[in-house]
Structure 1
Amino acid sequence: MSLIGEPQVADSSQANQDYPLSAVPMSDRRPIWSLAPLLMGFALTSTTLLAGGTLGSSLRFADMLWVMIVGNLALGAYCAALAYIAAKTGLSTVLMARFSFGAIGSRWVDFILGFTQIGWYAVTNAFIASALLKLLNIPASFEWFAIVFFTYAFCVTAYMGYTAMDWLSRLAVPAMLILIALSLAIGFRDAGDLFAIAPQKSIGVTEAIGVVIATFISGGTQATNWSRYADSTKNAVGSTLLAFLFINGLLVFTGAFCTLVYGTNDLIEAMARQGLLLGGLVLLILNVWTTQDNTIYAFSIAGSNFFRTSKRTAFVLGGATFALVLALGGIYGNMIPFLLFLGTVIPPVGGIIMADFWFNRGGRFPSLDDPLPAFNWAGVISYIVGAAIAYFSGSAGFGIAPINGVISAAVLYVILCRVLPSSVRA
């Protein structure tokens, strides 16, 4: 095989479409100051504030701090491990899954990753349309127009590809961090003694850590779409930790802090109370844009692999249109529980890929051109068991559901690769 990480030449159609079906060659890799803002923009998402609000209303401030540290360390480690493999091989998660799930079996991975992203794209567009109308006192009858506008506006940079998303993030991420820092500074002035505030609700420690990890582990599983562009494994890991350790941790803290001080986990509402409504609106637009373009981009990569076509941009437009139908059809109230369920059963995919790369293949993947079995049953069985363990252990309150799923799937995959005959595994 040609180890991906060595210089390679890809055909022009792959390069023009951001390599949906091939490894990113070294000639098109990017430095950390390009990759880090893009991943940080992806992680700057308003849904993480909601998770922080759960902690802020359920834990004492001191307990909340160490829960956030432990949870984000676990999330960052998981995402950084996948980022290392992506930079080493140049492959996205859906391409890696071909080896551990098989040529046909990997299409299940394409489906759950792609459907999750397009679902969140629709939900978030409906959310921002509703939020802006309320903040600006615009009649609700204009909501459909706002949903249509944001559905296609947010996918422009994803359609243009990595370079456009890169420059958006370089401009947006510093602006967002400045606005968050300003709001937090005012909040600390208004806060009083945070350590003396008693929680209004109760949550177990393992459940609280699970909430932190679950905030973005689904997105983190697909962050390889960008970390595969890293010019070194060191820069891939560093960029990923900045996003999924620092940025995710900052947003969890901000959501918790706003809940404690202002009684709401909505940072934009808190900024309005602080007299920063304009800054809040800017933050809301940039926050959603840098996450949404990554989201629809991830859908386009999964869709390209599912149909084995390099026409990635067609899936950007097609996915946006599908999301528009979902959003106008009232997805916001009905789809979120299902998307959260998918977020629980996605992490075992990452565990299997890591086990396949390091323990089954000795730190290298074969060529994508090599023939593969239709199903790698070691991966399929391990996924089913790992996803079931994640779901039922979460329902029973036993351990941390996403971590349970990742570890159990990885361990079982290693075992099955040793005992199953080679005819039913890669």
Structure 2
Amino acid sequence: MAKQEDFEVLTHEDGEYMLSPVPESERRPTWKQVMVWVGFGYVVTGLFVGGVLAGFGGQPGVPPGMALWAIGIGMGVLLVLTTLLGIMAQKTGLNLALISRYSYGSMGSNLPLFVMALLTLGWFASITGMVGQIWSSLIGNPTGITVFDPAVLGYKDIPAITLENFLACAVFGLIFTYTAYKGMKAIEAVAIPVAPVILIIAVIVGVGMLNEGGGMGSFLSEANKIGGLGMGSAITIVMGSWIAGVVMGVDLFRFNKSIKAVFAGAVACFVLTNPLLNIVGYIGAVSVGQFNYVEWMIDKGILFALIGVFAWTTSLWTTNNAELYCNSLYVGPVISSYKKKANRQKIVLITGVVGTIIGSLAFYQIFFADFITILGAGFLPLAGPLIADYFIVKKGSYKVEELNSQAKYKMAGIISFLIGAVLGLVFEYALVLPFGLPSGLVALLITIALYPIIYRFTADSKNPTAEA
């Protein structure tokens, strides 16, 4: 049986409680946590998703009515999932690594942690690449130097990575790394002043792009010609853009003081912030042929360009802080599970440097579209065992004192997740579901249904705290 000392790793060394519950005395004010979620939700992938739904670049899309339904359903599902996971985190004070032990096992929890570590690294690299690209658009390429040309790998339609682009990625990647290194208080410090400003800018720019395109009548006339993308795929894309953030919510909500604060944070992200970006991205792609409103603002003069680039950079700063911060909370416990000392801040530094290098070399430009589709299809089921174990099997209660005495491997969690992940990918790429149902959501529901069944027929139900 696992012992307490096996997991002791200076858990309070920087106040982030990597391997222990967050005590009530360290919970953060609700309004600050809500601001974190406003900033966290303001990730420009929301604009990208809006562009995808609008068929940006001549790809299949959906008309405006279907787009609104896809955004509403996708965000609604994400809201529910985030709230459920947030309730678990708030009541226990546990991060994802610790709460996963109850449904995956003390060593089996390394499976979802490894997956989330890769996903958050991919997101950090993508967001760093987004920032570098927009600064490159502002600065241009006065040096005339190309660092990397995707055409050498067969990606002829992707612009070369200039020295200016590369350096912008490097500089901002290191800035993001530093604030994530400092922890939750530093994340709040960035998010609080920035969140209201970027929301106002998004609304103003959305109206501006709509007017430039000829107004609402012209927009609807063009948008209603869009088609070719099924509703299920549209919903999967919306959810795929945020499933990693939903699971990461566990690591943020453990600092909340109440369940109301959890719901307020989830609403701030999935009702107030992200749907707005989806809609602005859709409007921009249809009205002016550009979902990225900063690219549009750059063409409007230096003042608009500077405002746009500032809003873009600071909004992504809050999101990338969370990606890197949570990444360390996944990697650290994996290292600790093998009885090795894990230092959260060192992990942040190492991952930040690796992610910055990857982001500087066109990860976003080359892989991002496929990245979020795969996330929505194959990795939405990762949350299934957590939800099923806590709310169905354990009836909404965990004994925190049993945290370090869980069985090593809990097959119900491992098997149900793997089945769900495989089914999600099959439904998305090989076996089309009837009625346009979204692959990731169906796979998640199957995972939740499978978990208690498998649980009943395995050793998990008989000896939940015994070695498997």
TM-score (norm 1): 0.91
Q: Which runs of 5+ in 1 are unaligned?
A: 1-9
Deviation at 1:378, TM superposition (A): 0.8
What is the identity percentage for the equivalent residue pairs of Structure 1 and Structure 2?
A: 23
Choose which of 399, 402, 426 in structure 2 pairs with 1:392: 426
Give the alignment partner of residue 72 of structure 2, picking from 45, 69, 72.
Answer: 69
* Runs of 5+ consecutive residues of structure 2 not aligned to the other structure: 1-7, 56-60, 143-161
CA distance in 2, matches of 1:90, 1:80: 15
Q: Give 1:116's aligned residue.
A: 119
Cα gap change, 1:285/1:48 in structure 2, threshold over 3 Å: closer, same or farther?
same
Query: Counterpart of 2:396 in structure 1: which amino acid?
Result: G
Aligned residues of 1:46 and 1:288 also touching (Cα < 8 A): yes
Contact 2:78 2:239 in 1 (8 A): yes
- Which residue is equivalent to 2:145? none
* Corresponding residue of 2:306: 278
**C-alpha spacing 1:81/1:154, structure 2 compared with 1 (3 Å):** same
Question: SS in structure 2 opposite 1:231?
Answer: coil
Assess if the C-alpha contact under 8 Å between 1:119 and 1:335 holds in 2. no
**Equivalent position of 1:195 in the other structure:** 220
- When residues 161 and 340 of structure 1 are mapped into structure 2, their CA distance, relative to the original with a 3 A threshold, is same
Give 1:156's aligned residue: 178
In the other structure, the counterpart of 1:419 is: 457
Q: 2:421 & 2:98 partners in 1: Cα distance?
A: 20
Bigger mean CA deviation after superposition, 61-70 or 258-267: 61-70
Task: Name the counterpart of 1:348.
Answer: 381
Q: Report how far residue 326 of structure 1 moved.
A: 2.5
2:234 & 2:183 partners in 1: Cα distance? 36
Contact (CA 8 Å) 1:56, 1:199: kept in 2 or not?
Answer: no
Distance 1:218 1:13, change over 3 A: closer
Q: Which amino acid counterpart does residue 191 of structure 2 have in structure 1?
A: S
Q: Does the 8 A contact of 2:132 with 2:168 survive in 1?
A: yes
The total of aligned residue pairs comes to 417
Alignment deviations for residues 307-356 of structure 1 (CA, whole Å, 9 cap, x no partner)? 12552111110111221342355534555435653453322121110111
- CA distance in 2 between counterparts of 1:408 and 1:187 reads 42
Q: Which residue of 1 aligns with 2:141?
A: 138
Task: Describe the SS at the equivalent of 1:154.
Answer: helix
* Equivalent runs, 1:243-322 vs 2, <5 Å: 243-275=269-301, 276-308=304-336, 309=341, 311-322=343-354
Please tell me whether the aligned partners of residues 33 and 265 of structure 2 are also in contact (alpha carbons under 8 angstroms): yes
RMSD (Å), alpha carbons: 2.2
Please list every run of at least 4 consecutive aligned residues from structure 1 whose deviation after the TM superposition is greater than 6 angstroms. Answer: none
CA contact (8 A) 1:120 1:339 kept: no
Partners in 2 of 1:328 and 1:61 — Cα distance? 35
Whether contact under 8 Å (1:17, 1:313) holds in the other structure is: no
Amino acid at match of 1:327: G
Change (3 A) 1:210 1:331: closer
Corresponding letter in the other structure for 1:421: A
Deviation string for 1:279-333 (max 9, x for gaps)? 1111111122111111111111111111125521111101112213423555345
1:179 equivalent in structure 2: 201
Q: What's the CA shift for 1:208?
A: 1.6
TM-score (structure 2 length as normaliser) = 0.84
The separation in 2 between residues aligned to 1:54 and 1:213, in whole angstroms, is 13
